[in-house]
Amino acid sequence: MTDGRAASPHEITLVVNGVARRARVPGRRLLSDCLRHDLGLTGTHVGCEHGVCGCCTVLLDGEPVRSCLTLAVTVDGRDITTVEGLAGPGGLSPVQRAFAECHALQCGFCTPGFLCTVTALLREHPTPTDEQVTEGISGNLCRCTGYRNIVKAVHRAAELMAEES
Amino acid sequence: MSTRLFGEPMPRREDPRLLTGQGRYLDDLGPGALAAAFVRSPHAHARIRDIDVSGALDVDGLVAVYTWEDLPERIGRPLPLLIPHPALTHGRTARPLARDVVRHVGEPVVMVVAEDRYLAEDACALIEVDYEVLEPVAGLEEAARGDRLVHADVPGNVGAHLVQEVPSAGGRSAADAIAAAPHTLSFRLDIERSASMPLEGRGVYARWDGADLRVYSSTQTSTSVRMAIAAALELPLPHVEVIAPDVGGGFGVKIVHPWPEELLVPWAAMLLGREVKWAEDRREHFVAAAHERGQVHRVRVGFDDEGRVLGLDVSILHDHGAYTPYGIIVPIVTSTQLLGPYRIGAYRVEFTAVYTNTVQVTPYRGAGRPQGVFCMERTMDKIARHLGKDRTEVRAANLIRPEEFPYDQGLTFQDGRPLVYDSGDYPEMLRMIKELIGWDSFERAPGRGIGIGCYVEGTGVGPYEGGHVQITSDGRVHVSTGLTSQGQGHETAFAQIAATELGVPVERVSVVTGDTRRFGYAVGTFASRAAVMSGNAIALACAEVRAKALRVAAAALEADPADLTVTDGLVHVVGAPSASIPLATVAVLANPLRYAFDEETARATQFAGAASPDRPPVEPGEEPGLEGRGYYSPIRSTFAAGMHAAVVETDPETAEIKVVRYAVVHDCGRLINPMIVEGQIHGGVAQGIGGALYERMAYDGDGQLLNASFMDFLMPYATEIPPIETGHLETPSPLNPLGIKGAGEAGVIPVSAVIASAVEDAEGISIDRMPLSPSDLFHLREGA
């Protein structure tokens, strides 16, 4: 344990939401902590710190990953999208709008993880079946909504994306 | 500009910030703060012989280490017992840091403060605590035997014992009524522990500037945390502010206060002159926060040929865990709400609440009701089975009739007041739920069953809440209330109420909750009370502001206030919208000024010529400004009710249980925002399904919690929750001006009962314990 802090910090560059960000982090720094505490992007949340709840999900080169199970130094130079980067210049993304419209969030703590997960899901399955939706979000815990409105929101987001493409 | 009002499914105000990562949860605050971490007991029961912190002192970035010996008397003493009760003869609470004995795994022993959390945990790992391990009291029944004690000075581990008895109309006791009944049954029910388990844990962040203390806490009651901190730190109340920022779910656990960390973190911040923050991690939340539900019920019931209950006698063994900071609210609620929508001949209920060497038990959404409803509804199903009657027919025979309201159950409720149901229509609700689920046309098949569960929920308990409403000279409406929010959409619902009451576009209304800088008097968010209590208080505050606006506008328009009304933010003569004045201008005129800061406010200055020189600028009895304050304090709780039904399928080989349909009929009086109410119900049902089928706190005989992680404690994912069909019945509460009842806990309360009912129907095996895992069902089949 003392080795972790004795070792000299590493200089890394993460391309977060399209912007290159530098950080000096110890080898043991989690990506979630690096985003939240070193880069000040607190939209990514930490619910369990062992990769089960999915609150900390971010997109790494477009693929959803658990930032609480990822060491920041291992993603040096990579592209990361967090919840702060989902909205476009024109406003909220279709996924974000669909979540609001369908009341797919309550306390909002798990929401950033769901939004990242669903953004990737719909890229892969633009018109997902019910089964694909359930399966696609089955790695994210929500304690407030009972999930049904989240399922509805995923379908609604798919509709919005189809309408707008 | 749209005017969306009371009763509309208005989109939530909260969502834009929460959807873009702009929410501010506890650990998002104080980026430069020092981090606190805790050394916690690894033993369920042990005596601390020695604490050696020397190993930690070499950690670079260590700032401070505190044990109990370092604490001043006012911090080191046992934490408050929040809700004393005469029956709680042996209430016990923990000290913020253990002094000599630890009584559950997870109890805090040492606090470390360091430059960041990593370093604080490094230091924790290097602190050695020498324990003399004592025999733990692990199970509920072991505790009741009293062979070993959790607290040396609590004989038999019994913290509380309470009997309530209501004789029949003819004066017969429950025992006599049961003895004389044509049919009797007796049985035992077991309900295991679960927990609120919000996805954000607890957390505290404190700043001290030498005179004033500001504390942020992920709490359900900032006003009460504030008073507790002021008392413990001996600070004048006006020098302490407590703010609940965005809170990532509460579900009951965050109503407990002050948590050890809520005193220790501010104390350390003052001592060190630095900002200090602690954010709970998931394992800490499992072993150091609170659980609920664990009870054993022994039931005797006597009934007639129609299934009418003539006498009911329930003995409850309730597991407190190691401490009783929240008193005995949970078993009181179980005992009293057990009766549900039924008229029972004679009732006797007794509970014994015992200590175990486990995490303390405090309310979790439902707060004792799920256990009580499980008991009553299992009883109804057993009566039906005994008589060979349809389960809904037996329930119908026992329901309180609409003409019987207000209905006095003859018991004392959790607020110390009579348990009197204010309004409802239970037979209609039963008709609706049968129709919604298709009860009468259900096709039974092996491995396919249907179940039902009914409940009544006392909501909106007092003593009071308040609201403050201010209209500023830009025409905006600022609403604040002291209670807190954890995802219920209060910013939206309260804005709907204010917009409706004031006659302003809802877009102009903003709402702040849980910030003692804005509103200092409050109780907190629990017991499905926020909408009832703060909703009505805000409506009353709005009425006051509106009346003042009409007085001021009447003078300006040279009209009678009685002829005025407010529409879309304009005060005008009824039927003559042309003679009008905007509320923004009324706000300006309501505050006579010497100094102007813009053109609008120049109208209120002394040479503007509006006021009479013979009158004081502020009339006696008036105050400057357009604002008002209102408090709502009900004589007693309102009573919401609901009936749920479900269809389940069980796998013949794996005994897996799948909920294929779930239906809810619910009555929470008038709906402020149906979308939000429905969301509350969905979330509650999901937690209920978790409690019915998956969630249990697996303590071993040594008092170790074996499943203290999300990997092992199974909460439902999307894959476990079926579509939820809902129907609303609205019987307004006669107790409050808005006619509303609470909805926060509605979804969760009867779910275990419903699932048990359905599985029993599918399997033909008595289901007497919850949760029911595939393995449990498999063994029940083997034993059948």
Higher pLDDT: B7 or B578? It is: B7
* Tens-place pLDDT, residues A93-104: 999 999 999 999
d(C-alpha B662, C-alpha B765), whole Å: 21
Number of domains in chain B: 3
Domain A94-164: which CATH number of 3.30.70.370, 1.10.150.120, 3.30.430.20, 3.40.50.1820: 1.10.150.120
Contacts of B716 in chain A (CB under 8 A): 147
d(C-alpha A79, C-alpha A36), whole Å: 16
- Alpha carbons within 13 angstroms on the beta-carbon side of residue B530 total 31
- Secondary structure, 3-state, chain A: CHHHHHCCCEEEEEEECCEEEEEEECCCCEHHHHHHHHCCCCCCCCCCCCCCCCCCEEEECCEEEEHHHCEHHHHCCCEEECHHHCCECCECCHHHHHHHHCCCCCCCCCHHHHHHHHHHHHHHCCCCCHHHHHHHCCCCCCCCCCCHHHHHHHHHHHHHHHHHC
| Two structure tokens written together for B98 | 């253990």
Contacts of B245 in chain A (CB under 8 A): none
User: Looking at the structure, do residues B472 and B575 belong to the same domain, yes or no?
Assistant: yes
- Among the partner residues A83, A99, A143, nearest to B199 by beta-carbon distance: A143
Contacts of B59 in chain A (CB under 8 A): 2, 5
Can you give the pLDDT at residue B577? 77
| Residue B783: C-alpha distances to residues B190, B385, B409, B558, B656 (Å) | 17, 19, 39, 85, 17
Instruction: Examine the fold and report which residue of B601, B632, B663 is the final residue of a domain before the chain moves on.
Output: B632
pLDDT confidence tier of residue B67, bands split at 50, 70 and 90: very high
> Does A48 contact B709 at a Cβ distance shorter than 8 Å?
yes
Residues 6+ apart with CB under 8 A from B606: B592, B593, B594, B617
How far off is chain B from A52, nearest CA to CA, in Å? 6
How far off is chain A from B7, nearest CA to CA, in Å? 16
Contacts of B18 in chain A (CB under 8 A): 105, 108, 111
Lowest pLDDT segment from A109-123, B92-106, B118-132, B604-618:
B604-618
User: Looking at the structure, do residues B597 and B628 belong to the same domain, yes or no?
Assistant: yes
Q: Is the pLDDT of residue A3 over 60?
A: no
User: Looking at the structure, do residues B304 and B392 belong to the same domain, yes or no?
Assistant: yes
- Among the partner residues A108, A141, A142, nearest to B246 by beta-carbon distance: A108
The domain that contains B255 carries what CATH number? 3.90.1170.50
User: Looking at the structure, do residues B375 and B452 belong to the same domain, yes or no?
Assistant: yes
CB-count exposure of residue B510 (10 Å: 0-12, 13-18, 19+): middle
Domain with B125 in it: 32-134+196-288
- Short-list A96, A7, A6, CA closest to A43: A96
B139, B307 contact by CB (below 8 A): no
Q: Is the pLDDT of residue B276 over 70?
A: yes
Can you give the pLDDT at residue B715? 97
Average model confidence (pLDDT) across chain B: 95
Domain boundaries, given as residue ranges, for chain A: 2-85, 94-164
- Among the partner residues A40, A50, A96, nearest to B709 by beta-carbon distance: A50
Contacts of A41 in chain B (CB under 8 A): 21
Can you give the pLDDT at residue B612? 79
User: Looking at the structure, do residues B473 and B431 belong to the same domain, yes or no?
Assistant: no
- Short-list B296, B320, B315, CA closest to B371: B296
User: Looking at the structure, do residues B332 and B449 belong to the same domain, yes or no?
Assistant: yes
- Secondary structure, 3-state, B273-317: CCCEEEECCHHHHHHHCCEECCEEEEEEEEECCCCCEEEEEEEEE
pLDDT confidence tier of residue A7, bands split at 50, 70 and 90: low
Residues 6+ apart with CB under 8 A from A112: A43, A44, A45, A55, A57, A82, A83, B21
B96, B278 contact by CB (below 8 A): no
- Among the partner residues A106, A135, A140, nearest to B679 by beta-carbon distance: A106
User: Looking at the structure, do residues B540 and B483 belong to the same domain, yes or no?
Assistant: yes
Can you give the pLDDT at residue B600? 84
How far off is chain A from B681, nearest CA to CA, in Å? 8
B242, B234 contact by CB (below 8 A): no
Residue identified by tokens 């080989």 is B653
Q: What is the mean pLDDT of the segment spanning A35-44?
A: 97
Contacts of A106 in chain B (CB under 8 A): 249, 487-489, 679-680, 683
Complete DSSP assignment for B8-36: S-PPPSSHHHHHTT---BGGGS-TT-EEE
Helices then strands (H, E): number in chain B? Answer: 19, 29
B56, B62 contact by CB (below 8 A): yes
Q: Is the pLDDT of residue B634 over 90?
A: yes
Work out the angle between the directed axes of helices A111-124 and A94-101 (0-180°, nearest 10).
120
pLDDT above 70 covers a percentage of chain B that reads 99
Q: Is the pLDDT of residue B321 over 70?
A: yes
The one-letter amino acid at B433: I
pLDDT confidence tier of residue A6, bands split at 50, 70 and 90: low
Q: Is position B12 within any domain? A: no
The 10 Å Cβ neighbour count of residue A126 is 11
Locate the chain B residue with the closest alpha carbon to A149.
B679
- Alpha carbons within 13 angstroms on the beta-carbon side of residue B75 total 23
User: Looking at the structure, do residues B279 and B321 belong to the same domain, yes or no?
Assistant: no
Q: Is position B140 within any domain? A: no
User: Looking at the structure, do residues B639 and B605 belong to the same domain, yes or no?
Assistant: no
Can you give the pLDDT at residue B3? 47
Can you give the pLDDT at residue B241? 98
| Two structure tokens written together for B411 | 């018991």
Q: Is position B18 within any domain? A: no
Locate the chain A residue with the closest alpha carbon to B682.
A146
* Tens-place pLDDT, residues A60-88: 999 999 999 999 999 999 999 999 999 99
Q: Do the bridges between strand B576-582 and strand B34-40 make them parallel or antiparallel, or are there none, so unpaired? A: unpaired
- Coil/strand/helix, residue B456: strand
Do A2-85 and A94-164 agree at the fold level?
A: no
Q: How far is CA B530 from the centre of its chain?
A: 9
pLDDT confidence tier of residue B290, bands split at 50, 70 and 90: very high
Instruction: Examine the fold and report which residue of B608, B632, B656 is the final residue of a domain before the chain moves on.
Output: B632
Higher pLDDT: B602 or B763? It is: B763
The 10 Å Cβ neighbour count of residue B652 is 10
> Does B116 contact A37 at a Cβ distance shorter than 8 Å?
yes
> Does B19 contact A147 at a Cβ distance shorter than 8 Å?
no
The one-letter amino acid at B774: P
Exposure string for B685-717, b = 16+ CB within 10 A, e = fewer = bbbbbbbbbbbbbebeeebbbeebebeebbbbb
Q: What is the mean pLDDT of the segment spanning A89-96?
A: 95
User: Looking at the structure, do residues B208 and B186 belong to the same domain, yes or no?
Assistant: no
Contacts of A146 in chain B (CB under 8 A): 679, 681-687, 721, 724, 747
* Tens-place pLDDT, residues B430-472: 999 999 999 999 998 999 999 999 999 999 888 999 999 999 9
Q: Which residues, in sequence order, are bridge partners of residue B321?
A: B355
- Among the partner residues A4, A29, A40, nearest to B31 by beta-carbon distance: A40
Q: Is the pLDDT of residue B598 over 70?
A: yes
Can you give the pLDDT at residue B552? 93
- Short-list B223, B270, B74, CA closest to B521: B223
pLDDT above 90 covers a percentage of chain B that reads 92
Q: Is the dihedral of CA B776, B778, B783, B784 positive or negative?
A: positive
Higher pLDDT: B462 or B379? It is: B379
d(C-alpha A8, C-alpha B599), whole Å: 61
User: Looking at the structure, do residues B408 and B527 belong to the same domain, yes or no?
Assistant: no
Q: Is the pLDDT of residue B601 over 90?
A: no
User: Looking at the structure, do residues B531 and B641 belong to the same domain, yes or no?
Assistant: no
Can you give the pLDDT at residue B610? 60
Contacts of A43 in chain B (CB under 8 A): 20-23
- What is the DSSP secondary structure assignment for residue B79, as one 8-state letter? P
Q: Is the pLDDT of residue B475 over 60?
A: yes
How far off is chain A from B731, nearest CA to CA, in Å? 25
d(C-alpha B186, C-alpha B569), whole Å: 63
> Does A28 contact B61 at a Cβ distance shorter than 8 Å?
no
Q: Is the pLDDT of residue A1 over 70?
A: no
Angle subtended at Cα B715 by Cα B709 and Cα B717, rounded to the nearest 5 degrees: 120
What CATH code is assigned to A2-85? 3.10.20.30
The domain that contains B437 carries what CATH number? 3.30.365.10
d(C-alpha B290, C-alpha B278), whole Å: 18
Complete DSSP assignment for B631-697: EE--SS-EEEEEEEEEEEEE-TTT--EEEEEEEEEEE-BS-S-HHHHHHHHHHHHHHHHIIIII---
Instruction: Examine the fold and report which residue of B582, B598, B632 is the final residue of a domain before the chain moves on.
Output: B632
